[in-house]
Structure 1
Amino acid sequence: MSDILQPFVPDPVEPRRRLFNKPVPFRVIAPNLITLIALCLGLTAIRLAYEGRLEPAIIAIVVAAVLDGVDGRVARLLKGTSRFGAELDSLADFVNFGVAPALVLYSFILHDAKAFGWIVALIFAIATGLRLARFNVMIEDPDRPEWRKDFFVGMPAPAGAGTVLLPIYLHFLGWPSDWMFLPVILGYVLVIALLMVSTVPTYSGKTWGKRIPRDWVLPIFVLTVAVFGLVVSFPFEALVIITAFYLGTIPLGVMHFRRLRREHASVPVVAQEKADPENPAL
C-alpha cells in the first residue's frame, strides 16, 4: 500500500515536453484581440443597463457589432483565420448580440411584463444561440453553391441585436414607452427572434466590395464621412434610419434570392439541351 501512494517522480533524463513548440504569429492573435474587445463591450453593456445608463449601453452594443464586422475581415486580410478564432467569435456573438440585448431590453421595459417579459427575453437570447449554431454548421457545407454566399439563412445575430433595440432608439427620440405600448414591444422582440431562426434569406454582404469601380471610390468616401457624421451628431436618429433601411432590404433580399435560385436551377437543363438537343432528357 505504501508503494502505491508514493508520489510520482519524473525521470530527470526524460526530455521535458513543451506545451507550445512554435511561437504564434501576431496576425493570428490580432483578430482575436478585436473579438475580445467586442466581448468586453457586450458585458459592459449589461452592467451599464442595470445601472440605468441605457445610452452608453446601447453605444457599447453598437460598437461591438461594428467590431464583429471588422474582426473577420481583418483575419482574412492578414490570413490569420483559425478554428480557435471562429469558436471565440461565435461565443462572443452569443453574449454580445443575444444575452446583452435581451438583458438591456428587460431592464428597459420588459420587466414591466413580469414573467412574460422574462420569457420573451429568454426566447430572443436562445434564438440567437440557435441561429449561431446553425450558421457554424452551414458554413462547413462543401456543397453550398457559390451564389448563396451573398445571403444569410435568417437574420444574422449582429443585425438582430441592432434591430431589436429599436424601441430604445425611439425612446430616446421622445416616443412613449409606457405599459400601453408594452404588447407592441413584446411582439416586436418575438418577431425579430423568429426572423433569426427562420430560413428567410437576408443579404450577407461578405462578397461585396472586393472590386470597386474607380468612379465609385470618391462617392463612397463622401458617403462614409456623411454617415459617420450623422451617427456621431444624431446617433439615435441615425440608428432608427439604419434599422428601418435594413428591415426594408429583407423583402428585397427574398425576391433576389428566389430569382437567383430559379436562374441557377435552370442552368443544368440548358446545358443538357445544348449537349443533346434531340434528347435533352439523356
Structure 2
Amino acid sequence: MNADLNEPDVDLDDAPTGVRPRRKGIYILPNLFTLAALFGGFYAVVMAMNGRFEQSAIGIFCAMVLDSLDGRVARMTNTQSAFGEQMDSLSDMVSFGAAPALIVYEWALRGLDKLGWIAAFVYCSGAALRLARFNTNISVVDKRYFQGLPSPAAAALVLGLIWVADDQGVRDIATAPSLHWLRWLSFGFTLYAGLTMVTNVPFYSFKDVSFKRTVPFVVIVAIALGFAVISYHPPTVLFSVFVAYGLSGYLVYAWKKFKGRPVSVIATSTDEPDEEGLHR
C-alpha cells in the first residue's frame, strides 16, 4: 500500500516497528550554488586540457564568487544542513584544491619535471589539510579570521598569475627555453599558496560584514568605483588584490607580535591537553 503523503517525518531511531521512516530531503537553492561552483572547477580543468588557460582562470574566479554565495544564501533562507556543509567542502576541494594544482602543472610546472609535480602535490595536499582543519576547528576559531590562507584565495594567487601571463600573450610556458624564469615563478607561487594554507597565520574573513546594516553613501560610491576599476582590466586588478590579501595575513601576524597581542585565531582556553600547540 502507498504511504500517506501527509505523514510527518520520522527519524530512524524513533520510528515505530513496522513504520517506514521518511527520508530527509535536500535543500535545492544553496546546493545549486555549490554545484555551480563545482562546475566552474571542472570547466577550468577541461579548458586547461585544451590549452585555453584564460578560460580556466575565469572558471576558477567564477567558482569563487559562487562559493562565497552558497553559505550566505543558506543562512538568509534558513536552509543550512549537514549535507550542504559536506557538499561545500567537496566542491572546494575540487575547485580550489585539485583543479588549480592540475592547471598550473599543465601550464608551467611540467617543464620542471619532478619538482613540478611535487609543487603541485604540495598545493593539492595543503588545500585538503586546510579544509579538513577548517571543518574540525569551525567551532573554536575566531569568526573574524581564517586560520591560514583560505583555499579560494590560494587558487586566485595561482590562477591569477596564469591569467595575467596569458592575457599578455605568453604561451607554451612549460616548453619555451626563454620562459624558464616564469616556470620558477609559478613554482614559487604554488608552494607559497600551498604552504600558507596550512599555517596558523590569521587572514581577515570579512564574515563580520553585515549587508543588513545601513552604511554611509560614500561606501556605495566606493563599491561602484571598485567595480569600475576591476572592469578596466580584470586579470591585473584581481591578481593584484589577491596578492595583497595573500600577504596581509603575515602583516597582521607581525603587527600583533610587535604589539604583544595574541596571534592565534583559536578562541578557546589552553587548559585542555587536546588543544596543546593550537595557540602558537
TM-score (norm 1): 0.76
Summarize deviations over 1:81-130 as a string: whole Å, max 9, x none: 11110000000000000111111111111111122211111111111000
**RMSD, matched Cα:** 2.6
4+ residue stretches of structure 1 with deviation over 6 A? none
Matching residue of 1:129: 128
- Distance, in Å, in 2 between the alignment partners of 1:227 and 1:210 is 17
Matching residue of 1:117: 116
Matching residue of 1:90: 89
- Distance, in Å, in 2 between the alignment partners of 1:29 and 1:72 is 13
User: CA shift at 1:23, angstroms?
Assistant: 6.1
* Structure 2 unaligned blocks of 5 or more: 1-16, 174-178, 265-280
Matching residue of 1:107: 106
Is the 8 Å Cα contact of residues 143 and 205 (structure 2) preserved in structure 1?
yes
* Structure 1 unaligned blocks of 5 or more: 1-13, 265-282
Structure 1 window deviating more from structure 2 (236-245 vs 127-136): it is 236-245
Which has more helix, going by share of residues? 1
Matching residue of 1:271: none
Matches within 5 A, 1:10-159: 17=20, 19-20=22-23, 28-141=27-140, 144=141, 148-159=142-153
Q: Which of 165, 170, 178 matches 1:171?
A: 165
Is the 8 Å Cα contact of residues 44 and 57 (structure 1) preserved in structure 2?
yes
- Distance, in Å, in 1 between the alignment partners of 2:76 and 2:116 is 42
- Distance, in Å, in 2 between the alignment partners of 1:199 and 1:262 is 12
Give 1:150's aligned amino acid. R
- Distance, in Å, in 2 between the alignment partners of 1:128 and 1:262 is 25
- Distance, in Å, in 2 between the alignment partners of 1:68 and 1:101 is 15
Distance 1:237 1:257, change over 3 A: same
Does structure 1 residue 221 correspond to structure 2 residue 220?
Answer: yes
Give 1:165's aligned amino acid. L
Identity of aligned residues (%): 35
- Distance, in Å, in 1 between the alignment partners of 2:25 and 2:236 is 47
The structure whose RCO (Cα within 8 Å, separation 6+) is larger is 2
Is the 8 Å Cα contact of residues 45 and 57 (structure 1) preserved in structure 2?
yes
Matching residue of 1:238: 237
